[in-house]
Structure 1
Amino acid sequence: MQNKIIHHYRIIKPLGAGAFGQTYLAQNLKLPGEPVCVVKQLKPQSTDPESVKAAKMLFDREAKTLHKIGSHERIPQILDYFKEDQEFYLVQEYIEGKTLREELDSQQSWDESQAILFLQEILRIIAFIHSQKIIHRDIKPENIVRRASDQTLFLIDFGAVKQSCCDRQQPSSTIIHSRGYSPPEQLAGIPEPSSDIYALGMTCIEALTKATSKSFIQLRKTKTQKINWSESLRICPEFKSILDKMVCINSQDRYPTANCVLRDLEHIATSSPNNYTPTEITTSHNLHTYTPTELRADSFTDSSLGSGDFEQPSEASPILKTSAPPLKKKLNSRELSLELIECLKDKQRAPQPKKVVDTTRQWLRKKFLIISGSLIFTVVGLPLVLILNHIHKSAHLSNTTSSETVNSQETSAIFEEKSNFKEHSSAIKFLAFAPDRKTLISGSEAGLVKLRDIQNSSTTTLTQTQSQILAMSSSANGNTLAIATEGKLIELWDLKHHKKMNQIPTQQLVWSLALSQYSDLAAGVVGKIKLWKIQPKLSETKQLPDERSQSITFNPAADVLARGSADGTVKISHLASNKSQSFHKHSNAVNAVAIDVNGALLFTGSEDDTIRIWNLYALSEHILPTIQADLGGVKAIASSPAAKIVAGGGAYGTVKIWNWQTGKAIARSSNHLTEVTALAFSPEGQVLAVGDREGNIVIYTLK
């Protein structure tokens, strides 16, 4: 392409390439001086019709967007848009300088003042594009350029933009994301304006720490879901709080607008008379710089009483509007008492003796009857009350202790760790037992699928996929395994002979899978559920309209398909009659679904930390207690094939088992240090396999 003339633009050199196009530096031969510009050619990597159509749509959208917002001084202007020899081209203003990615690769990590100035510049651009009802969707270091002439920052590459003209968007059929910078709602095809704020926050944290944003995904605290990024940095708590809020995993907890972030940043910048500079904190007894904090009754523990040394507040301390974190003084009870006495001595005059005597005499006269009555009660009534109270407490304590002992014995007896092992280096996406009762199938996010004999601890690798695993499912009879990958393929494996049977190109990312024992396969993509028969010959049978399903499952007869969606919707479809019913009881994403062995009940586990039970045939929520899981969000569930129990695991690293008829927890284990991601009961229901985000698997026996 070098020196080639397209229209009236001479190509100088390539600048870069993306999923949908190639970008070149060029000269405009029609204008005086032949100024340089950027020519972007539509050139999708995939040649299938759906991908080409999506690329053309995004290319047209980018041209229209740049025409709409290109007047902004920090966004490259669109200069031309044309078609030549059946190829589409877009011409933009050239910003000479380095991308932020080039800066970060060649420079040291930023200090706090650099990060604040960076955020303020980019947030003003984001506030503008959001005011035009546009979401960028691809903010990252590669798409931010610092102009060489004046060090001004520009936001580039609007090829992924999306209109945000309504409050509740339909899932996009084309998911644009950059790993590490895209929040969950964007991966679900439902980006929000706050998705751009998340991406910018991740970019800023990367600049402060020099660690890649991809690595932060693995460093989220399991209980709080906050990224553990600031331990070794000297930054003010207010700024840390701002960045933490920008990158909240839940969009509802994030800053809703760029202007909200700017207001908080402005407070930091103006809290000091000069431009904000982070201050190293040293211990000091200077009372003039001390800022009081709220003291609670539970702050006065034994460990907090003693020397008068100062210490820095913990993370839980309230953020105060000062340029440096406040210092909290350990309290000494004796010193505090003496200090209060001295204050009273200084501020009160000594009372006159005569006045004290008169006042005391009057007070005794008025209170004589009350004191007399109190004495009689103390001598006669109080012992009687104490005796009765002791009898009541003894009986109550006896009952409570007995009950607690039973529960304790039941809990310790039902959960017994049999073995634990780590054969995967990434999050466990799937666990299932084969019908032989001894083979455990495990699949991890990095694409590794293994078969383990839990009796003799021998392991076989079934496959290592070429791209990350998004979803897996096995048939109830144990004959077939389906694996959906980031390469937009579904691989079908014969588990008896350990060989690949077939693969299905999907053209879209598959987020959930279900296999029935009758060779039915269901795959959840954005906007629909696709169904196939995989035996005796692969054939697509139907499609069901749907938002993005987080989890799907067949009932044992394969005539009912149940799924849970990213927005909390539960949908039950009777395939033979084409009847469906949607329910909106969950307030957050439904991460896991399971059906009982009889095929009558559906269990749904949600990010809202509840497990609900549904009647598949009455198309309604079952009249049973909603299980309040207390797992930090339910990530995985499994229904026992042998008893009326259901197991759940969540973000806290805890596994619990409930009697689903009563809703009461009957066992728990907190052996996992990180989020539980997969669960599976053995066919006879006496063994439970648990997988977590770090790739660990623990086998429990249930008694």
Structure 2
Amino acid sequence: MRCCLNPDCSNPQNPDDNQYCESCNTPLIPLLRGRYRVIKVLSDEGGFGRTYLAEDVDKLNEWCVVKQFAPKIQETSALKKAIELFKEEAKQLQKLGEHPQIPTLLAYFEQDNYLFLVQQFIDGHNLLQELQQGITYNEAKILDLLLDLLPILQFIHDRGVIHRDIKPQNIIRRQSDGRLVLIDFGSSKQLTATVQTQIGTTIGSHGYTPMEQMQDGEAYPASDLFSLGTTCFHLLTGIRPSKLWMQHGYSWVSAWRQHFSNSGYVGGSLSGHLSQVLDNLLEIDIQQRYQSVDEVIKDLTNQPLLPPTPATLLTVSSTTERLFRKNRLLVYVAILLLGFGGVWYLQSRSQIITNRTQENTPAPSTLKGHASDVNSVAFAPDGITLASGSDDRTIKLWNLATVKQIRTLTGHSRWVWAIAFSPDGKTLASGSADKTIKLWNIATGKEIRTLVGHSQGIASVTFSPDGKTLASGSLDKKIKLWNLATGTEIRTLEGHSQAVAAISFSPDGKTLASGSWDKKIKLWNLATGKEIRTLEGHSGLVLAVAFSPDGINLASGSKDKTIKLWNLVTGEAIRTLKGHTDKVNSVAYLPKSGDNKNQNTILISGSNDNTVKLWNLETGKEIRTLKRDSGYIYSVAVSADGKTIASGGSADNIIKIWRMP
């Protein structure tokens, strides 16, 4: 069947051989933008267009979702706001689609005077559909939901985005694994912006939207948490908050317990613990409400440990099992569920514990001090000083001999994504989402200069082996080379079609490798600025690259969960290392020096699966896994003597240090 793309067509389905719509006589488009075959209408967007199910013929007819923007309004300010929101949705999906529980943006374009947005299709049912199908929610399911959704909210809030329209319709349970996916970012906005409420521009859904957002057009992380609380209420009771809002205004929120009691909830009374959490989520006054996801998680997990329970228990849900394996919070969930009178069986726990404490794995030490995710870690040449860059906009210097913080470097206005020490250890470079690179004097902690030239955030920085040149890779798809003596740009390397996520100098300083979201690795001749060759083989974004100490091979880490080793002479992949269960964010070679010169070549990798792995590159086998308790691992680094490993990530904003035997 062909689907008519006239948003006013009352009967858009047509036979495949039709050239014109039988209902409205509009010419039918066989393939939108030459690749998307629109199959059927999924929904009308309230006078702003339609959402369609489509097939991507370039991807073996893989399903996708096409959103069409076709507003039926003439009022200028409302139309302008609608256009802004549609474009904003595309921008947010492009930025946030890296999260496995947020749809990926596939395309955004204009055709035949309409705007179109193409995004990943999520196969599953939204939570409102679950309620309509007769699925009931008890306290255990709500806890499961909160622990699946809260990390997604933390991810978007940490990146300066507020969803602004959380409700059951915008949460889909993915059929393949049962995980929850947050959709519809058309109403999301930057934290730093404020929408001035006008007629027709209020964003959100009545009943789910907090007062500050509905009346003043202002939204904060706490606003999304209010909407999450009303969603939990709806799922527990089956009562639509929109209905209560129409009847009682915001007074229904203060009396939510009364409405809950009158709902006929089949799970018995709520525990005092969850009731208190809902109280704090549903505060009308934003100042009295939870201010961050961290506060909710803290209250959910700060239950006292209960006495051991005899192992005559039932099977835990598959969703709970998956969460336990991926997130330390589920340990507390098991405790909470037992405390609420449920009887649960935590399968194969002894095996999980065994996997976490592998033989000969050293116990790590911990560095605490950052207020948000640690995106990058780097060792100084002395092996004693460590630097870390964070979403809290700061860089911290640490003394590993004393395990103490030396000082904090401040100056960036947004998240610090990348850091690197100069070969002499006297200078530190930092790249930020604020589009700048800063050079710091390590001895004084003072800023030397700021390098400006990229049009988007800086994802990677690295010094040349002679310390005279700095290279930077950016979301603007470009690589820049900088003269450190003068602070001027030497040249720009262009060739990638997506963001440049990682760069690395060869040991002789003559070649630069770059890894990109376009799934490619490029090698550059630094004397001429010309591309030498492109390495292709990853099926996902390339997020990390590193030259081997002898400069003969290159290692790359990818969103496809693999590490590839490349022969730089032939351009062929020598070996693919498989073992991580999520994207590989960072790779580093263990240096051969001192008493380990004769050892096999070892590679270290950090992944979103919460692990740091060590690999024997001669055999391609995993040597050891250094487990973290929870959180993504964004960066790994190795000291010059190869005896210390550091990792930074999202778990409690800490850095882990392993002293290798």
Q: TM-score, normalised by structure 1?
A: 0.49
Aligned residues of 2:510 and 2:525 also touching (Cα < 8 A): yes
Q: 1:444 is matched with which residue?
A: 390
1:424 aligns with 2:370: yes
1:158 aligns with 2:83: yes
Q: What is the CA distance between 1:530 and its match in structure 2?
A: 2.0
Aligned residues of 1:452 and 1:460 also touching (Cα < 8 A): yes
Q: What is the CA distance between 1:187 and its match in structure 2?
A: 12
Counterpart residue identity of residue 654, structure 1: T
1:519 aligns with 2:456: no
1:638 aligns with 2:552: no
Provide the C-alpha distance between the structure 1 equivalents of 2:167 and 2:52, rounded to a whole number of angstroms.
33
Larger Rg: 1
Determine helix, strand or coil for the equivalent of 2:91.
coil
Percentage identity across paired residues of the two chains: 23
1:591 aligns with 2:538: no
Q: 2:441 is matched with which residue?
A: 494
Q: What is the CA distance between 1:528 and its match in structure 2?
A: 2.4
Provide the C-alpha distance between the structure 1 equivalents of 2:150 and 2:46, rounded to a whole number of angstroms.
22
Question: 1:219-618, aligned counterparts within 5 Å?
Answer: 240-241=173-174, 247=182, 282=266, 315=319, 412-413=359-360, 415-464=361-410, 465-505=412-452, 506-517=454-465, 518-525=467-474, 526-547=476-497, 548-577=499-528, 578-616=530-568, 618=569
Counterpart residue identity of residue 91, structure 2: H
Deviations 1:62-84 (A, max 9, x none): xxxxxx999999xxxxxxxxxxx
Q: 2:282 is matched with which residue?
A: none
Q: Which has the higher helix share?
A: 1
Aligned residues of 2:171 and 2:180 also touching (Cα < 8 A): no
Q: What is the CA distance between 1:635 and its match in structure 2?
A: 1.8
Aligned residues of 1:138 and 1:196 also touching (Cα < 8 A): no
Q: 1:127 is matched with which residue?
A: 50
Q: What is the CA distance between 1:689 and its match in structure 2?
A: 0.9
Q: What is the CA distance between 1:312 and its match in structure 2?
A: 10
Determine helix, strand or coil for the equivalent of 1:656.
strand
Counterpart residue identity of residue 610, structure 1: T
Q: What is the CA distance between 1:586 and its match in structure 2?
A: 0.6
Aligned residues of 1:631 and 1:654 also touching (Cα < 8 A): no
Q: What is the CA distance between 1:425 and its match in structure 2?
A: 2.2
Provide the C-alpha distance between the structure 2 equivalents of 1:188 and 1:283, rounded to a whole number of angstroms.
36
* Residues 514 and 136 of structure 1: CA distance in aligned 2, closer, same or farther (over 3 Å): farther
Provide the C-alpha distance between the structure 2 equivalents of 1:204 and 1:533, rounded to a whole number of angstroms.
57
Q: What is the CA distance between 1:538 and its match in structure 2?
A: 2.5
Determine helix, strand or coil for the equivalent of 1:218.
helix
Aligned residues of 1:637 and 1:679 also touching (Cα < 8 A): yes
Determine helix, strand or coil for the equivalent of 1:626.
strand
Provide the C-alpha distance between the structure 2 equivalents of 1:138 and 1:540, rounded to a whole number of angstroms.
44
Q: 1:686 is matched with which residue?
A: 643
Q: What is the CA distance between 1:543 and its match in structure 2?
A: 3.0
Provide the C-alpha distance between the structure 2 equivalents of 1:202 and 1:475, rounded to a whole number of angstroms.
51
Provide the C-alpha distance between the structure 2 equivalents of 1:125 and 1:441, rounded to a whole number of angstroms.
49
Provide the C-alpha distance between the structure 2 equivalents of 1:427 and 1:531, rounded to a whole number of angstroms.
28
Q: 1:115 is matched with which residue?
A: none
Aligned residues of 2:511 and 2:525 also touching (Cα < 8 A): yes
Provide the C-alpha distance between the structure 2 equivalents of 1:489 and 1:236, rounded to a whole number of angstroms.
40
Q: TM-score, normalised by structure 2?
A: 0.52
Deviations 1:30-79 (A, max 9, x none): xxxxxxxxxxxxxxxxxxxxxxxxxxxxxxxxxxxxxx999999xxxxxx
* Residues 425 and 462 of structure 1: CA distance in aligned 2, closer, same or farther (over 3 Å): closer
Provide the C-alpha distance between the structure 1 equivalents of 2:72 and 2:440, rounded to a whole number of angstroms.
46
Q: What is the CA distance between 1:562 and its match in structure 2?
A: 0.7
Which runs of no fewer than 5 residues in structure 2 stay unpaired? 11-41, 57-64, 109-116, 130-141, 157-162, 185-237, 241-262, 269-310, 322-342, 344-353, 593-598
Q: What is the CA distance between 1:610 and its match in structure 2?
A: 1.0
Q: What is the CA distance between 1:498 and its match in structure 2?
A: 2.4
CA RMSD of aligned residues (A): 5.3
Q: What is the CA distance between 1:587 and its match in structure 2?
A: 0.6
Question: 1:54-65, aligned counterparts within 5 Å?
Answer: none
Provide the C-alpha distance between the structure 2 equivalents of 1:478 and 1:204, rounded to a whole number of angstroms.
57
Provide the C-alpha distance between the structure 2 equivalents of 1:147 and 1:522, rounded to a whole number of angstroms.
50
Q: What is the CA distance between 1:120 and its match in structure 2?
A: 4.8
Provide the C-alpha distance between the structure 2 equivalents of 1:596 and 1:312, rounded to a whole number of angstroms.
45
* Residues 459 and 588 of structure 1: CA distance in aligned 2, closer, same or farther (over 3 Å): same
Determine helix, strand or coil for the equivalent of 2:631.
coil
Counterpart residue identity of residue 702, structure 1: M
Determine helix, strand or coil for the equivalent of 1:532.
strand
Provide the C-alpha distance between the structure 2 equivalents of 1:219 and 1:125, rounded to a whole number of angstroms.
29
Q: What is the CA distance between 1:455 and its match in structure 2?
A: 0.7
Q: Which moved more, 1:186-195 or 1:687-696?
A: 186-195
Q: 2:571 is matched with which residue?
A: 620
Aligned residues of 1:181 and 1:203 also touching (Cα < 8 A): no
* Residues 552 and 136 of structure 1: CA distance in aligned 2, closer, same or farther (over 3 Å): farther
Provide the C-alpha distance between the structure 2 equivalents of 1:480 and 1:532, rounded to a whole number of angstroms.
14
Provide the C-alpha distance between the structure 2 equivalents of 1:575 and 1:449, rounded to a whole number of angstroms.
29
Q: What is the CA distance between 1:645 and its match in structure 2?
A: 0.3
Deviations 1:605-634 (A, max 9, x none): 111111111123x051353x3111324221
Aligned residues of 1:137 and 1:191 also touching (Cα < 8 A): no
1:218 aligns with 2:164: no
Provide the C-alpha distance between the structure 2 equivalents of 1:581 and 1:673, rounded to a whole number of angstroms.
38
Determine helix, strand or coil for the equivalent of 1:482.
strand
Aligned residues of 1:470 and 1:486 also touching (Cα < 8 A): yes
Determine helix, strand or coil for the equivalent of 1:437.
coil
Determine helix, strand or coil for the equivalent of 1:426.
coil
Q: What is the CA distance between 1:488 and its match in structure 2?
A: 2.0
Counterpart residue identity of residue 457, structure 2: L
Counterpart residue identity of residue 561, structure 2: D
* Residues 450 and 189 of structure 1: CA distance in aligned 2, closer, same or farther (over 3 Å): farther
Aligned residues of 1:179 and 1:214 also touching (Cα < 8 A): no
Counterpart residue identity of residue 450, structure 1: K
Determine helix, strand or coil for the equivalent of 1:412.
coil
Provide the C-alpha distance between the structure 2 equivalents of 1:238 and 1:248, rounded to a whole number of angstroms.
6
Aligned residues of 2:371 and 2:392 also touching (Cα < 8 A): yes
Deviations 1:384-440 (A, max 9, x none): xxxxxxxxxxxxxxxxxxxxxxx99x9633x31252122212221111111122111
Provide the C-alpha distance between the structure 1 equivalents of 2:585 and 2:625, rounded to a whole number of angstroms.
15
Count of residues in Structure 1 that have an aligned counterpart in Structure 2: 417
Provide the C-alpha distance between the structure 2 equivalents of 1:136 and 1:511, rounded to a whole number of angstroms.
30
Provide the C-alpha distance between the structure 2 equivalents of 1:160 and 1:556, rounded to a whole number of angstroms.
47
Aligned residues of 1:650 and 1:676 also touching (Cα < 8 A): yes
Determine helix, strand or coil for the equivalent of 2:45.
helix
Deviations 1:587-615 (A, max 9, x none): 11111111222222211011111111112
Question: 1:69-84, aligned counterparts within 5 Å?
Answer: none
